């Protein structure tokens, strides 16, 4: 990795967000010259404190630019060897309330970025952050779901993220821009958004546990999910960016093993030493949007890129809890009303 990324000029879109900032920090460790771009739109994951450990690093440049600004993005893409493309509208609720903004960010801006690469930076490798949400509800007998499963997104965000994926693969196939797509599941770890539950349910659970509150788990909590520690996800991005075998490919990025929502809640409370939980029947409006168990088959990325997740859930939760105990003030914004749906879980 160090050999590949040392002195490479790299762009991270959404780079002040959860995964983007962890990736940027790691890239700087590997000797890359990193430009981070983030719109810092309110209520998204962007937080300037996320890059606090590297904020004075001589190889870091931070730009507050919206990916919808095509001309600004063109200047930023020019001359980069790798673009880690993590900027996106990630709220499923917002995508239904304002489908056009989601379309602008998750479709048009992706297409614009790729078209910019084609015109001004055809040698650039682009790694795109997608989501297992594009699979939608999956019948139990089809689990774990692999990349060949027909996607069935259940909201505007899922439809648009899927189109974004396909643009990436298309530009790889037609124009020879090198692109890879990673379908992430439930990524967790330091710097994840915990001020609301727009992105990840787990972030919200962590906040509640650290506030010593009682967490509500709907149903019997037996729904299975994959939880991937952010360092493992960062490693997947780095491998996809460095390896030509990833070009034009879509990869599921999963966890060590699927875990039930009840189990992860219990483990979190145990690790934190604070918080409690209770089971509660699904309210009708949550029942209709519940996707049941979903977990993925990621043998493809393990085979092609030799990636595998390494951080056990207990270990990852421990590091996460420690991070938020140390930096609570930077992440505990005024608590908004709990929203009707959880983000990525």
Residues that bind a copy of itself (CB under 8 A): 96, 99-100, 103, 107-108, 111-112, 115, 148-151, 153-156, 159-160, 162-163, 166-167, 170, 173-174
Q: Minimum Å distance from CB 99 to a copy of itself?
A: 5
Residue 99 or 221: the one with the smaller Cβ distance to a copy of itself is: 99
- CA-based radius of gyration for the chain: 19
Nearer to a copy of itself, 145 or 271 (CB): 145
CB of 107 to a copy of itself, least distance (A): 6
Given a contact cutoff of 8 angstroms between Cβ atoms, the answer to whether 296 and 309 are in contact is no
Residue 245 Cβ vs a copy of itself, minimum distance, rounded to whole Å: 20
At its nearest, how many Å lie between a copy of itself and the CB of residue 315?
Answer: 36
Q: Which of 76, 91, 100 is nearest to 42 (CA)?
A: 91
Instruction: Work out the number of other CB atoms within 10 angstroms of the CB of residue 246.
Output: 25
Closer residue to a copy of itself in complex, CB, 262/300: 300
> Cα separation of 147 and 66, whole Å?
30
Chain centroid offset of residue 129 CA: 6
Residue 32 to residue 46: CA distance in whole angstroms: 21
Do the Cβ atoms of 86 and 14 come closer than 8 Å?
yes
Task: Write the DSSP assignment of 81-116 as a string of letters.
Answer: SEEEE------HHHHHH-HHHHHIIIIIHHHHHHHH
Q: Min. distance of Cβ 119 from a copy of itself in angstroms?
A: 12
Question: Cβ closer to a copy of itself: 231 or 339?
Answer: 339
> Least distance from C-beta 81 to a copy of itself, angstroms?
24
7 vs 96 by CB, closer to a copy of itself: 96
14-40 burial code (b ≥16 CB/10 A, e <16): bbbbbbbbbbbbbbbebbbbbbbbbbe
User: Closest CB to a copy of itself among 104 and 213?
Assistant: 104
Based on CB atoms, which residue is closest to a copy of itself, 169 or 267? Answer: 169
Q: Toward a copy of itself, which CB reaches closer, 284 or 329? A: 284
Instruction: Report in angstroms how near the CB of residue 170 gets to a copy of itself at its nearest.
Output: 7
Q: Residues of 183-206 as b/e, b for ≥16 C-beta within 10 angstroms?
A: bbbbbbbbbbbbbbbbbbbbbbbb
Strand partners of residue 206: none
For the CB of residue 290, give the shortest distance to a copy of itself in the complex, in Å.
14
Contacts of 161 (CB under 8 A, 6+ apart): 88, 106, 130, 131, 133, 134, 153
């Amino acid at each position: 990795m160090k050999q590949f990324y040392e002195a490479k000029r790299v762009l991270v879109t959404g780079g002040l967000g959860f995964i983007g900032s962890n990736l940027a920090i790691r890239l700087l460790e590997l000797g890359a010259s990193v430009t981070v771009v983030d719109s810092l739109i309110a209520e998204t994951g962007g937080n300037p404190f996320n890059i606090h450990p590297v904020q004075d690093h001589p190889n870091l440049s931070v730009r507050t630019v919206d990916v919808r600004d095509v001309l600004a993005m063109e200047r930023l893409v020019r001359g980069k060897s790798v673009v880690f493309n993590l900027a996106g509208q990630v709220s499923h609720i917002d995508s239904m309330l304002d489908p056009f903004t989601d379309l602008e960010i998750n479709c048009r801006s992706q297409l614009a970025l790729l078209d910019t690469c084609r015109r001004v930076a055809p040698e650039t490798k682009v790694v795109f952050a997608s989501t297992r949400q594009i699979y939608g509800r999956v019948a139990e007998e089809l689990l774990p779901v692999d990349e060949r499963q027909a996607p069935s997104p259940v909201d505007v965000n899922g439809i648009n993220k899927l189109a974004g994926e396909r643009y990436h693969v298309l530009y790889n196939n037609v124009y020879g821009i090198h692109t890879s797509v990673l379908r992430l599941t439930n990524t967790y770890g330091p710097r994840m958004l915990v001020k609301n539950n727009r992105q990840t349910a787990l972030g919200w659970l962590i906040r509640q546990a650290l506030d010593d509150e009682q967490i509500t788990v709907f149903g019997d909590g037996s729904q299975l999910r994959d939880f991937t520690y952010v360092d493992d996800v960062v490693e997947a991005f780095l491998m996809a960016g460095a390896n030509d075998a990833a070009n034009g490919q879509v990869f599921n990025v999963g966890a060590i093993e699927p875990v039930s929502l009840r189990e992860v809640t219990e483990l979190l409370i145990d690790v934190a030493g604070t918080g409690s939980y209770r089971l509660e029947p699904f309210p009708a409006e949550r029942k209709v949007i519940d996707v049941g168990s979903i977990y993925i088959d990621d043998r493809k990325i393990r085979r092609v890129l030799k990636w595998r997740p390494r951080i056990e859930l207990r270990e990852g939760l421990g590091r996460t809890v420690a991070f938020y105990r140390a930096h609570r003030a930077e992440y505990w914004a005024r608590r908004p009303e709990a929203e009707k749906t959880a983000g990525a879980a």
